[in-house]
Amino acid sequence: MAAPVYLNIINGREVASRTGQTFENRNPADKSDLIGLFQNSGAEDVRCAVAAATEAFRSWRNVPAPRRAEVLYRAAQTLVARKEELACDMTREMGKVLEETRGDVQEAIDMALFMAGEGRRLYGQTTPSELPDKFCMTVRMPVGVCALITPWNFPMAIPSWKILPALVCGNTVVIKPATDTPLSCWNFVRLLNEAGLPPGVLNLVTGSGARVGEPLMADPAVRLVSFTGSTEVGRRISQACAPGFKHCNLEMGGKNVILILDDANLDLAVDGCVWGGFGTTGQRCTAASRVVVQEDVYRLFLDRFTDRAEALRVGNGLDPAVQMGPLINEKQLHTVEEYVRIGQAEGARLVCGGRRLAEGAGWFYAPTIFADVDPAMRIAQEEIFGPVVSVIPCQSLEHAIEIGNGVNYGLSASIYTRDINAAFHAMREMYTGIFYVNAPTIGAEVHLPFGGTKETGNGHRESGLAALDQFSEWKSVYVDYSNRLQRAQIDKD
Ligand code: UN1
């Protein structure tokens, strides 16, 4: 059977790329499984999509926000009804196990409901004036056409973090999903259009960063670029946005850490490290790629963690018995292989994994643990984005915090301890955007801000109410009903 061909979605219609070219979307667990052909678009397609979004913005910005929100509610209902089918599509294109892709769709449902609720809030402030008979308030304005560039590891959740607050705030959107996982975003965009978005409000153009991403962020009609991906690409996007002073929201790398103190519930900590380190095959920005363990429990922890990692069943995520899927593609597999070589050359002790699995069928790699890692080693400093965890010994809480903060990233950190003083102390001292106590570094919920410090981001947060600040501009409004000239700062008496 011929593979289905998926078109771009522009101005409410499905249209082929002007380039006439397509690219393949294949299953990373089974390379013979061709999921579909997607448009290998170019600058002309981007121009059409931006033109449609620009035109649609003229009326969408003035649709009352509660009406905009109704579309999100309807989309949430469809997502609930089609959750299983959408999760299966996602596992097939991305590889992570069905339980996790169901969670990914659920995250889009959660965000749709949360942002739909915001349609009836979008609160500003009312505040007294310093002058008599004068009224002050703030209102939110949409920014305009938003260019959204999303990664492959959360193929529906992350698009939902960007699309839904953008829409409820009254912006229009052109989204470019990752070329490894275009189907989940395509499903989501189509479903939102079918839920009643006016044509042109939400457009999707598939293709590479060079051919689609570059012209999209360079287009003068685009006022905001929101990107999740590598720090290296984020830096380039930031530079591209600077000359036009575009809003530029970046969510980038992480080198997240779990701190385990001597008094921790060790079974709980091991559970957390397995889920945080090997969930999504370690391909999360929030993955627990470093575990810092206090000396007294170091050996015991390492033994238990290694046993559990070795027992993980790796395979095709559609099989319910499988616990860990493949890496996303060959390039990622090579990156992981390269870091394992680097770790060994640096003198870290490989205690399990360190090898490719089931050669030929998919991009499978064994859960891998390095022990006795020095915090300065590259495997403990650089984001690997694979199932590789570095275990680092430490002497004290202060030492653990110092190691934890000793990287260029600041996304997520966690501590396992029964000592509430230690937990609060670490919470204050860890310079990360997300912090967990007695839970791993993953598991963010949509109604809290998501993002990080240092090279993880550029000062913004996604999700939560913080997302509204990304996708709107404040307008401060002063209404003087005194019928005379009143001068702020000057007329004091
Ligand atoms: C990511 O780490 O790439 O916090 C996103 C979590 C998910 C989102 C993670 N809700 O685990």
Q: How far apart are CA 142 and CA 144, in angstroms?
A: 6
Is the dihedral angle over the CA atoms 96, 97, 98, 101 positive or is it negative? negative
Q: Which two tokens stand for residue 384?
A: 């690997």
Q: Which two tokens stand for residue 136?
A: 């002050």
Ligand 1 pocket test: pick from 450, 462, 463 the residue with the most ligand atoms within 8 Å of its Cβ: 450
- Is the minimum distance from the CB of 443 to ligand 1 under 6 angstroms? yes
Answer whether 397's CB lies under 8 Å from 422's CB.
Answer: yes
Nearest atom in ligand 1 to the alpha carbon of residue 151 is 3
Q: Which two tokens stand for residue 430?
A: 């860890």
Q: What is the mean predicted confidence (pLDDT) over 335-361?
A: 94
CA 492–ligand 1 middle distance (angstroms): 52
How much is the pLDDT for 105?
Answer: 99
Evaluate if pTM is beyond 0.85: yes
- Is the minimum distance from the CB of 286 to ligand 1 under 6 angstroms? yes
Nearest CA to ligand 1 atom 8: 444
How much is the pLDDT for 270?
Answer: 98
Catalytic residues: 251, 285
Q: How far apart are CA 202 and CA 404, in angstroms?
A: 40
Q: What is the mean predicted confidence (pLDDT) over 162-182?
A: 98
Q: What is the per-residue pLDDT across 26-79, written as a single tens digit (0 to 9) for each?
A: 999 999 999 999 999 999 999 999 999 999 999 999 999 999 999 999 999 999
How much is the pLDDT for 360?
Answer: 66
Q: Which two tokens stand for residue 316?
A: 């095709």
How much is the pLDDT for 163?
Answer: 99
Q: What is the per-residue pLDDT across 94-131, written as a single tens digit (0 to 9) for each?
A: 999 999 999 999 999 999 999 999 999 999 999 999 99
CA 154–ligand 1 middle distance (angstroms): 8
- Is the minimum distance from the CB of 284 to ligand 1 under 6 angstroms? yes
How much is the pLDDT for 432?
Answer: 98
CA 206–ligand 1 middle distance (angstroms): 23
Q: What is the mean predicted confidence (pLDDT) over 300-324?
A: 97
Q: DSSP letter at 135?
A: E
Is the dihedral angle over the CA atoms 292, 293, 299, 305 positive or is it negative? negative
* pLDDT over threshold 90, residue 2: no
**How crowded is residue 306: how many other Cβ atoms within 10 Å of its Cβ?**
18
Q: Taking the CA of residue 5 as centre, how many other CA atoms within 13 Å lie in the half-sphere pointing to its CB?
A: 11
Nearest atom in ligand 1 to the alpha carbon of residue 445 is 10
Which has the closest alpha carbon to 78: 101, 60, 96, 105?
105
Nearest atom in ligand 1 to the alpha carbon of residue 103 is 10
Amino acid at 233: V
Sequence-distant (6+) residues with CB within 8 A of 53 are: 145, 172, 173, 174, 200, 201, 203, 221
Nearest atom in ligand 1 to the alpha carbon of residue 444 is 4
How much is the pLDDT for 359?
Answer: 65
Average pLDDT, the chain: 97
Which has the closest alpha carbon to 441: 290, 287, 278?
287
If you write DSSP's letter for every residue of 195-218 in order, what string do you get?
Answer: TTPPTTSEEE--S-IIIIIHHHHH
Percentage of the chain modeled with pLDDT above 70? 99
CA 85–ligand 1 middle distance (angstroms): 21
Q: DSSP letter at 280?
A: G
In terms of DSSP H, where are the helices of 195-350? 214-218, 231-241, 266-278, 295-311, 330-346
- Is the minimum distance from the CB of 96 to ligand 1 under 6 angstroms? no
- Is the minimum distance from the CB of 285 to ligand 1 under 6 angstroms? yes
Q: What is the mean predicted confidence (pLDDT) over 346-364?
A: 92
Ligand 1 pocket test: pick from 104, 105, 109, 154 the residue with the most ligand atoms within 8 Å of its Cβ: 154
**Beta strands 30-39 and 5-6: pairing type?**
parallel
How much is the pLDDT for 93?
Answer: 98
Q: DSSP letter at 119?
A: T
- Is the minimum distance from the CB of 107 to ligand 1 under 6 angstroms? yes
CA 415–ligand 1 middle distance (angstroms): 18
Q: What is the mean predicted confidence (pLDDT) over 232-250?
A: 96
Q: Please name the residue that has the structure tokens 């616990």.
A: 323
How much is the pLDDT for 463?
Answer: 97
How much is the pLDDT for 212?
Answer: 98
How much is the pLDDT for 183?
Answer: 98
Paired with 450 in beta bridges are 462
Answer whether 90's CB lies under 8 Å from 22's CB.
Answer: no
Structural domains present in the chain: 5-252+457-476 (3.40.605.10), 257-437 (3.40.309.10)
Backbone angles phi, psi at 20, to 5 degrees: 75, 5
Amino acid at 238: S
How much is the pLDDT for 493?
Answer: 78
Task: Tell how far CA 59 is from the center of its chain.
Answer: 30
Q: What is the per-residue pLDDT across 181-206, written as a single tens digit (0 to 9) for each?
A: 999 999 999 999 999 999 999 999 99
* pLDDT over threshold 70, residue 237: yes
How much is the pLDDT for 361?
Answer: 84
Please state whether 489 falls in left (phi above 0), alpha (psi between -120 and 50) or beta. left
Q: How far apart are CA 488 and CA 486, in angstroms?
A: 7
Sequence-distant (6+) residues with CB within 8 A of 382 are: 255, 339
CA 443–ligand 1 middle distance (angstroms): 6
Q: What is the mean predicted confidence (pLDDT) over 325-340?
A: 98
Which has the closest alpha carbon to 60: 159, 217, 166, 210?
166
Q: Please name the residue that has the structure tokens 């579909």.
A: 36
